[in-house]
A = this chain, B = another copy of it.
């Protein structure tokens, strides 16, 4: 008696499968991702604003012709991403506009996020082999050839920061021929070298401007500066770039969020 209903269910499932195949080919994505995308689009296009209610699990299930669990999965993982907020017994709502805390962004991207255009002047760009500290930060032998790229960052004709980047010369051949003055280094690495940047560990402290930096940044000598040493890793955990930066403290403050 048990095997009969089992077989029946199996048949029904297969029928459902046949029906679902074209739906899947709608864009080749799993159903829950299609639902997520449809919600994301409505948020991005301004049809849904922060605080607005999103369709309930049951409504989404009906609309997209999926089971409740699938609709639920879509909403639950949107919540995990911080796109929506769910409240039991009430509903699901578009989350407040995300503030991107602790995001690894290039100088260009940071400026752009504040509606400013970044500019930079290349002061030095050569391959050298006597930078043991930088080599060590990149987990390379002490006398490895490294690309050293020193840039003065400015916006609105005012110098903001001095950044020196170090990268393995063997890993990034031809990098010095790229338009470093114009284009974002992050962009070049990601596009031309197919590199996926993952995360960065930063050490932050305060230091006093030495004569050269004072002149470059146009501040008095011994003025306090924010110093950031940053090792940037690929998604695979490989050290890709070491950046030593000095930032005018009257023009920068670092914002971070910590969690308990």
Partner of A200, one of B69, B197, B257: B257
Residue with the greatest number of chain B CB neighbours at <10 A, chosen from A69, A101, A204: A204
Partner of A225, one of B5, B80, B224, B253: B224
Partner of A259, one of B69, B198, B224: B198
Contact: B199 with A253, CB < 8 Å?
no
Is A159's beta carbon under 8 Å from chain B?
no
Partner of A258, one of B102, B203, B222: B102
CB-CB under 8 A from A257, the residues of chain B are: 102, 199-202
Is A205's beta carbon under 8 Å from chain B?
yes
Interface of chain A, main secondary structure: strand
Is A15's beta carbon under 8 Å from chain B?
no
CB-CB under 8 A from A223, the residues of chain B are: 208
With A197-B260, A207-B249, A224-B207 already in contact, the answer to whether A202 and B255 are too (CB < 8 A) is yes
CB-CB under 8 A from A207, the residues of chain B are: 206, 224, 249
CB-CB under 8 A from A105, the residues of chain B are: 258, 260
With A5-B5, A222-B222, A260-B197 already in contact, the answer to whether A203 and B104 are too (CB < 8 A) is no
Partner of A253, one of B5, B103, B104, B205: B205
CB-CB under 8 A from A208, the residues of chain B are: 223-224
Is A156's beta carbon under 8 Å from chain B?
no
Task: Tell me how far the C-beta of A115 lies from the nearest C-beta in chain B, rounded to whole angstroms.
Answer: 20
| Complex Cα–Cα for A252 and B140 (A) | 27
With A222-B222, A257-B102 already in contact, the answer to whether A249 and B205 are too (CB < 8 A) is yes
| Complex Cα–Cα for A149 and B252 (A) | 28
| Complex Cα–Cα for A201 and B255 (A) | 7
Give a binary string over A189-229; 1 marks a CB under 8 Å from any B CB, 0 the rest: 00000000111111111111000000000000011111100
| Complex Cα–Cα for A102 and B202 (A) | 11
